[in-house]
Structure 1
Amino acid sequence: MFRNYTTITLLLFLLSCSAQSLQVDVSPTLSEEKPTEEEKESKTVENSEVIQLFMDGLMFMEQGDYSRAIIEFQDAIELGSSSAEIYYSISECYWMIQKYDKSISYGLLAIDHDKDSKDYSMSLGKKYIALNELNLALDIFERVADKHKDNADVLFIIGDLKSELNDIDGALIYYQQAYNKDNSLILSLEVAAELALRSNHRDSELILKKLLLADPSNPKYLQLFVESLSDSNNLNDIEELLKNEAIKSNPFVNNLYNQLGYEYLVNGVIDKSIEYFEKSLSINDNDRFALYYLSNVYRDLKEYDKSISIAEKQITLYPQEKDGYINKIISLLTVEDFEKAVEVLLESLKIFPNDFDINYFLGIAHYSLENFIDSETYYEKALKIDNQSTTAMHGLAMVYDKNKKWNKSDQLYIDLIADNTNDAQAYNNYAYSLVERNKDIDYALTLAQKAIELSPNTSAYLDTIGWIYFKLGDFEKAKEFIAESIVYDDSSAVVLEHYGDVLIALDNRDEALVFYKKALELDRDSSSLSEKISSYENE
């Protein structure tokens, strides 16, 4: 995601023991009493000796003779020097010869002799880090931060330490404070964003937004911000970002448009969804995400020509991907252009021969064209690809019924019900299959009653139980259920024909003819309807 950062060790140091170029006070602490002339002369000699010892110590340090350097520095202390720099230098020498306890002790003495020095504290803190004493290091750096509140580097280090100690909230606070103190330290926000994403932190979006605003033209930052957006985000706030000219010119901005389009789609704000998907395509007319969802949106709006046109564009651009094919196929099936659907499906089958969706939709399309043998072939293949698919099992059971393979259809319905005792469709279809065969009518009634219990307002289920009562000779109950079925859906020629048959049984020929004719308007190829109308009109 970001560059690889080893947060503490690479950021803080390669520790070196070279002496810092600081103003050095190597003189012993002066007495509060005014010295005599003899004391002045004596101290001048001592000061001169201390300075020489310190300079010799530095020379031995540079030569890598740390043990000898330590001796020189300690002799300077014995002569009365209380210089913090000498204690610091001894600490560095002990560190280089790996006597870490003594190094730490002298580091603490250096701080005791100059409590205001940031450098001595920073050095000791780094040593604690190297020794993996992170809590001690944190204590040191927090004290430095209290005295040097505007030091962004110290705040960054504290963020790293808190991250290593798994104080995620604390780490994120300090990383952001570091950036607030020094806006050039974008690295601090990058590390914060990486940590927030890795820990799935509640403030991930806010931190990534801050990172994006720090460098609005950075495509990676915009991409990460888009990917962090949750379903609960405030879409108005995101739209505000788009007023930023740098973000609008970001090469990744079309993905922000896509995200807005998708979120508005999920929230049912269709006009806004279309607006942002089309904005995305105005920047990148090959964007597969925008093409896919815009085709879906137009299909939901029943603008099938637009949906199909966009799907065709996606197929042209991405012929080896199935999304465009699926969108076009679903639209064709929805408008009942089954022959064209089969044509597109067979074309896509050459590319995706073992794809479940393609084979399943071929089963549907052939069933709708009453090509039941072909439908069976593709439903069987789909179920072989995904043997857990209940939709494929339902489709195959129906086509087995049409092909009079009732042992197979019955077994599928039994399996479906055994797998899910709340599968109302399985109860209903099994019942309808039995009644159409005039087989086990009482059992069919039991199945139909269960379907109604599970889904009492489904038109097809009401028709099934009404038709069973018709077969049982209970015409009044048959009329009651099928009439209710028509209330919920009057677009089925089969249901309207059933109602006509019930009315004939109840000796209501004129009303029956009305429903037969309505049914014939929906299914003009039905020979049974034509024969019934002709027969009853001529009586």
Structure 2
Amino acid sequence: MFQAIKTFNQQILFVFVCFLSVSYSQADPKPKEKDCSFLEPGVPGEYLLSRAIQEQIDGYQANNRKKGTEARKSFEASIAFMDQYHACQKEKGKGPTAQTAEIQAQTYLELANPTKAWEWSEIAKQNAKEVTKELVILQMRIRLREQDLTKATEVLERDLVSFPNDPDFLYLLGNLYFERKMWNQSLLYYTALSFVIERRDNHSKYKYVTAKSLGELNYKLDYPKIAIKRYKEYTSVNKSDMEVLFRLAQIYFVLGDFKMSKLYLEQIREKNPRDIDASHMLAEIYFLDARDIAPKFFATLKAEKKIPKDGIIPILYQQVNGHTYGLTEKLKAYIQSNPGRLSPRVALLELADQNNEPDYEVLNAETAQYAYEYRQYGLAERILRRGLSRLDPNLTDAKVNYLEKISACQEMLGKWNHAILSIKEAIRLNLDLEKNVRMRFRLAYLYLQGNLKKEQVSIDILSQTLSEKPSSTHYYLRGLAYFQLERYEDSVKDYTEAIGMDPNNPNFYFYRASAFDKLKRFPETESDLKKTISLNPNASNAMNYLGYLYAEKDIYPEEASSLLNQAIALEPDNPAYQDSLGWVYFRKKEYNSALLHLNFAASLALERGFEDPVIYEHLGDVYLAKKDPVNALQFYKLSLSNDKQTSNKDLVSKIKRVEKEISE
């Protein structure tokens, strides 16, 4: 995936060689002396350097002409001349310069000797007044030649703080982590690159490859809607990338948007009539979602000779045409070999419905569960409603089960009120206390979701249940409802009750810590966050919370850094964690590191579809500390425009202060 990145500029080197030649020819006549023991009198040591550089250039040019043997001879000659030059310098009491060591490293790399190349690159780095981008990328190339992706990544990350907005660095890091299949880290760097492109370099060569990579990464990390946005950005220019069009169809299928999925599959069929996969996927969608049109489409596939002899497509073709003889056995055999496929299960369920099979109810529950797991919530709800309509009215327990599952589908579809009505009906019909307690918890939970936010209703339901049968989970949920109502003392009491009943649940301590923090009770907050981490060593939310609190209070800076780095190691693409670490660096007056992580935070937040005023204000604070009031003002204003508070007096005061500074 990586293109060779050269760290030299041939034009500059050519000018340098010419400069040396002119310098020698115009020099004043002097008594000829030896510059070093193995040179002829009057021959300067720089002659060896110029020959080394020229041989290196000849080697590159030979490589471009595909003359491998010739190139190797030139590179070997370059090494020899440079060794002589360094020996000459040593006689004068001088060592290699950063530039000559870098040239030697480049040449050894071309000779496929990464060990020597690395040694010389390290000498170049030690002798450089300031490490250059070219030298860092050279070291990365050396590690890649060693086929060590981990070390190549470390090279770039070690010096990233010096080049935080460099598109090449961010692209290479995103690419390296992608190659290593570390999706979260890859997403972090590609997102940061996209942020740089949008703000600084909208015509970047990386713009559309970054959009495609972010589409793939968001798909892998289960952010389907963001993946769609990024893929569409890519296909706005690359309209005929069949792989991406098919992936868009798959994502829409997973989201249950069959209309959009069909749209992309039809595009593929139009652009590439010989395509088989898109045609077969489209056939399954018609079977699942548009049965009235399915026979016509399957007939089209038959005419196009795209109905194979084996697989699910000929079986579905048989069913849509009403030829059901022997079909049940075929479907059962296919399901046994392909248990994860949804369409044959739907087909088998329909046959069982038509034939009034005695095992219909079991098949209905299984098929609905598969549809739910595939996130086909609308299809799952339709299946369950069909099963509910077939039930004997006297089978109350079965009806309760159906209503509970239908409510779950409606919740996932964002139909909160429908979900509440379904679970209420299930509770009304149910006579079992244990089951009612569980369903009341779900009802109370639903009242806290979406745009309902009926906290008091949730509290009333939970209070009734707790009076009948106390449980830690009900105390926990009521504590959350109290927290949302800003009744923090009541929230603490309920979390304490939950902890008393289940002292090893880390979540209860974490949420109680949140309530203690609102009450400005830092010792208790700190204690509960530490307890959360002790019970769950991967509790990144608690690590971030505690690290940020330490930074805010300017205490335990090293521990704050350690906690936040642990959190980021677990979730590198979490914008809140990157913001917290950036704030720690700000408190430590390490402003470049602060900017690096705060820019990560801002870009990740944008990628997730929101703009965080806190991150923007932090960026403003860092730029102000770096005596860059123009950028500080930009981010303060961004923060204010995204702040949901009616009036943020502190931020308004900062803006006025900076505006005055700029005007003066």
| TM-score using structure 2 length | 0.43
Task: Identify which of 459, 469, 486 aligns with 2:613.
Answer: 459
8 Å contact from structure 2 (residues 582, 595) kept in 1:
yes
Q: 1:417 to 1:262 in 2, by over 3 A?
A: closer
1:149 is matched with which residue? none
Check conservation: 2:368, 2:383, Cα contact below 8 A: no
**Residues in 1 aligned to 2:437 and 2:369: alpha-carbon distance in whole angstroms:** 17
Q: Give 2:645's match in structure 1, choosing from 483, 491, 513.
A: 491
CA gap of 1:310–1:215, structure 2 versus 1, over 3 A, is farther
What are the equivalent positions in structure 2 for 1:350-499 lying under 5 Å apart?
A: 350-402=500-552, 404-435=555-586, 437=587, 439-456=589-606, 457-491=611-645, 496-499=649-652
Structure 1 residues 323-332 or 275-284, which shifts more?
323-332
Is residue 2:439 matched to residue 1:293?
no
Q: Which runs of 5+ in 2 are unaligned?
A: 1-310, 314-323
Q: What is the CA distance between 1:241 and its match in structure 2?
A: 3.8
2:483 aligned with 1:333, yes or no?
A: yes
Provide closer, same or farther for how the CA distance between residues 302 and 197 of structure 1 changes in structure 2, counting only shifts above 3 A: farther
Contact 1:262 1:273 in 2 (8 A): yes
Contact 2:613 2:640 in 1 (8 A): yes
Say which is worse superposed, 300-309 or 410-419, in terms of deviation.
410-419
CA distance in 2, matches of 1:220, 1:423: 42
**2:352–2:360 CA contact under 8 A, matched in 1:** no
Q: Distance in 1 between matches of 2:627 and 2:467?
A: 58
Conservation of the 8 A alpha-carbon contact between 1:463 and 1:485: yes
**Aligned residue among 387, 406, 418 for 1:260:** 406
Structure 1 residues 326 and 226, CA gap change in structure 2 (3 angstroms): farther
- The CA distance in 2 between the partners of 1:447 and 1:389, in whole Å, is 21
Counterpart in 1 of 2:654? 501
Contact 2:516 2:525 in 1 (8 A): yes
Provide the C-alpha distance between the structure 1 equivalents of 2:637 and 2:441, rounded to a whole number of angstroms.
Answer: 41
Looking at structure 2, the residues matched to 442 and 200 of structure 1 have their Cα atoms a distance apart, in angstroms, of 50
1:318/1:204 CA distance change after superposition, 3 Å: farther
Residue 216 of structure 1 and its aligned partner are, at CA, apart by 8.3
Q: TM-score, normalised by structure 1?
A: 0.52
- Aligned to 1:274, the other structure's residue is in SS state helix
Evaluate the alpha carbon distance shift between residue 395 and residue 303 of structure 1 in structure 2; reply closer, same or farther with a 3 A threshold: same
Task: Tell me what 2:470 maps to.
Answer: 319
Equivalences for 1:213-224 in 2 at 5 Å?
Answer: none
RMSD: 4.2
Does the 8 Å CA contact 1:466/1:480 hold for their aligned counterparts? yes
1:2-40 CA-partner distances (Å, limit 9, x unpaired):
xxxxxxxxxxxxxxxxxxxxxxxxxxxxxxxxxxxxxxx
Q: Which amino acid letter does the alignment assign opposite residue 292 of structure 1?
A: F
Deviations 1:162-193 (A, max 9, x none): xxxxx999xxxxxxxxxx99xxxxxx99xx79
CA distance in 2, matches of 1:197, 1:344: 50
Give 3-state SS (helix, strand or coil) of 1:251's partner. Answer: helix
8 Å CA contact retained: 1:219, 1:252? no
Query: 1:302, CA displacement in angstroms?
Result: 0.8
Cα deviations by residue, 1:303-339 (Å, 9 ceiling, x for unpaired): 111122223344445424x332332222222222211
**What's the CA shift string for 1:410-447, capped at 9, x where partnerless?**
21123334455434323321232343x46333432333
Amino acid in structure 2 at the alignment position of 1:345: Y
Identity of aligned residues (%): 15
Asked if 1:239 is matched to 2:393, the reply is no
Note if contact 2:488-2:515 (Cα within 8 Å) is conserved in structure 1. yes
Point out which structure has higher relative CO (alpha carbons under 8 A, 6+ apart). 2
CA distance in 1, matches of 2:657, 2:312: 78
* Corresponding letter in the other structure for 1:428: D
- How far apart are the structure 1 equivalents of 2:496 and 2:603? 40
AA of the residue aligned to 1:415: Q
Residue ranges of structure 1 left out of the alignment (5+ in a row): 1-166, 170-179, 182-187, 509-539
Question: Alpha-carbon deviation of 1:393?
Answer: 1.0
